[in-house]
Amino acid sequence: MAEDADVIVVGGGLAGLVAATEIADAGKRVIVVDQEGEQSLGGQAFWSFGGLFLVNSPEQRRLGIKDSYDLALQDWMGTAGFDRDDDLWPKRWAEAYVAFAAGEKRDWLRALGHRIFPVVGWAERGGYDAMGHGNSVPRFHVTWGTGPGIVEPFERRAREAQKNGRLAFRFRHRVDTLVMTNGAVEGISGAVLEPDSVERGKSSSRKVIGDFSLRAPAVIVASGGIGGNHDMVRQNWPQRLGEPPKFMISGVPEHVDGRMIGITEAAGARLINRDRMWHYVEGIRNWNPIWPRHGIRILPGPSSMWFDATGKRLPAPLFPGSDTLGQLHYIMSTGYDYSWFILTQSIIKKEFALSGSEQNPDLTGKSWRMTIKRATNKGAPAPVEAFKQNGADFIVRDNLADLVSAMNALSGDNLLQHDHIKAQIEARDREMSNAYVKDAQVMNIHNARRYIGDRLIRTARPHRILDPEHGPLIAVKLNILTRKTLGGFETDLDSRVFGNNREIIRGLYAAGEAAGFGGGGVHGYRSLEGTFLGGCLFSGRNAGRAAAKAAG
């Protein structure tokens, strides 16, 4: 039987687009299949903040940051904590990926028209020792144009390849089976879903109007993770993080359904590290949702005070922006699945950023005029103000007693005592008089302000939380927000998938989140941030290049 293409790519997200464009550019024929409509091309990456992990970049150097491959690898290994036999390929991927991030990644993207916002962010700062979790230096490079800005170069290349006949899209085609013969992949089959003009990111119809099958000697699975499927998240939830949360919100659209993971496993592919995942603890319910249970992650600066559901301050070093999974573990150990920020108007104005392209119209719209207001504005950015006014998780009051009673009313748990919270805030506020202090969070604030990027747009001038000059007071109820799947299909550096017998499955490749961003879990247990889009770029590129080469 005739082949329909040299390679089939399942998934038109970033990983799939990168793989497909590499194949087409190598002169091979590729078909990209996606269950969503054309309007959702780009998958999650479109919605992303576009943050990229780069090492020793010109942007870092301009800000006086001294970074290197060795420092980044030290941070990566301290963060990943690889400790399993199954970490053989993930670790190899980690070494190769850090080299990519310190090497050709920026130039490769730049040649494709990608540009970077000049102030480098400092995510996951850790707070342990030099070999522990976290970024020693700022490395989070935001794409100028955020998510759409990272999708654009690859969509453009794909459209060109479509015009010259090397690439074809099959939208609204949902893959249900990988067709195998004698242990090798031969193609795919599945259902054709009814056309649906629903807006990008909204849930689309699952009504089947036909079936299809396509043949090719190679298939790349780039179908994303499981974050939109809370049942699957709970099933895979690791015991080391406590009980799965009863209430969660979704940081990803519903099409991140994990279905293709089961389908690929059924074809014999080896899924590893399924218990490793990356969910955020600073999730807020979107007052203007696009997808079901839509939540947004606050990217917090260092100054908000963080309290658990019972009103106890989170212990050092679990301050905002330090250690996402450390915070998740602590919060779940309290027996409640939420926590609180308490902050001032001065802090929200300077320190709250919201992750997501639609929440950052200045950067997404590539408007310098609007972006400069981040440093000069009197109020918070408009999307943050909108949440403050309309968000179900925000409370604004002039005094602490009213704030605490509104917090109790919002949670319905009545666990917070005004005197207890007041004593902790006053103690912290007393530490504001000197530049050398014992409160580790206050030390962090002073440390952050020694980095020019933080001083400019991310860290409020130190002040007392209870100083009315900096008011009103704000409380934010923080929910657990599902996002990334860190485990995935075990792959070699060519993104070829291993079977359960530890042999490569002929013709089968995996990339992006489905492959744990490379190897079946390039992050190990934790991430340094900005590493997910980068993992899609790197694993998608490796998959595309290897599959094109194998096609002869």
Ligand X SMILES: Cc1cc2nc3c(=O)[nH]c(=O)nc-3n(C[C@H](O)[C@H](O)[C@H](O)COP(=O)(O)OP(=O)(O)OC[C@H]3O[C@@H](n4cnc5c(N)ncnc54)[C@H](O)[C@@H]3O)c2cc1C
Task: List residues binding ligand X (CB under 6 A).
Answer: 10-16, 33-36, 40, 43-45, 47-51, 174-175, 222-224, 251-252, 255-256, 259-260, 355-356, 484, 512-513, 530-534, 536
Nearest residue to 175 via CA among 185, 186, 190, 187: 190
Give 90's DSSP letter: H
Least distance CB 418 / ligand X (angstroms): 36
Cα–Cα distances (Å) from 211 to 26, 107, 174, 186, in that order, read: 30, 42, 9, 17
CB 391 to ligand X: min, Å: 16
Q: Minimum CB separation from ligand X for residue 129, in Å?
A: 26
Kindly state the smallest distance separating residue 121's Cβ from ligand X, in Å: 9
Rank residues 311 and 381 by Cβ distance to ligand X and give the closer one. 381
Q: What is the largest CA-CA distance in the chain?
A: 79
CB of 146 vs ligand X, minimal distance in Å: 8
Task: Determine the Cα–Cα distance for residues 398 and 466; give it in Å rounded to an integer.
Answer: 10
Indicate the residue among 23 and 425 with the shorter CB distance to ligand X: 23
33/43 Cα distance (integer angstroms)? 12
Q: How far apart are CA 313 and CA 155, in angstroms?
A: 46
- Between 301 and 512, CB nearer to ligand X: 512
Task: Please give the Cα distance from 550 to 290 (Å, whole number).
Answer: 41
Distance (Å, rounded) from C-alpha 56 to C-alpha 66?
7
Q: For the CB of residue 296, give the shortest distance to ligand X in the complex, in Å.
A: 7
Least Cβ distance, residue 114 to ligand X (angstroms):
13
Residue nearer to ligand X on the CB measure, 49 or 451: 49
Work out how close the CB of 455 gets to ligand X at its nearest, in angstroms, rounded to a whole number. Answer: 22
Least distance in angstroms from the C-beta of 333 to ligand X: 27
List b or e across 158-183, with b for residues whose CB sees 16 or more CB atoms inside 10 angstroms.
Answer: beebeeeebbbbbbbbbbbebbbeee
Q: Which is nearer to ligand X, 260 or 505 (CB)?
A: 260
Amino acid identity at 256: V
Cβ proximity to ligand X: between 269 and 533 the closer is: 533
Cα four-point dihedral sign 235, 250, 148, 525: negative
Select 267 or 404, whichever has its Cβ closest to ligand X: 267
Q: Are 379 and 339 in contact (CB under 8 A)?
A: no
Cβ–Cβ < 8 Å for 52, 534: yes
Least separation in angstroms between residue 342's CB and ligand X is 25
Tell me which H or E stretch contains 340: strand 338-344
Please work out, in degrees rounded to the nearest 5, the angle formed at the alpha carbon of residue 94 by the alpha carbons of 88 and 100.
140
User: Considering beta carbons, is residue 255 or 374 the nearer one to ligand X?
Assistant: 255
Residues 237 and 226: their CA atoms lie apart, in Å, by 12
State how beta strands 140-142 and 51-53 pair: antiparallel
Q: How far is CA 334 from the centre of its chain?
A: 25
Output 12 or 145, the one with its CB closest to ligand X.
12
Smallest gap from Cβ 483 to ligand X, in A, equals 6
Task: Return the number of the residue (144 or 330) whose C-beta is nearest ligand X.
Answer: 144
Q: Which is nearer to ligand X, 49 or 307 (CB)?
A: 49
| Gap between the Cα atoms of 246 and 480, Å rounded | 10
- 395, 410 contact by CB (below 8 A): yes
Q: State the sign of the Cα–Cα–Cα–Cα dihedral 490, 492, 497, 503.
A: negative
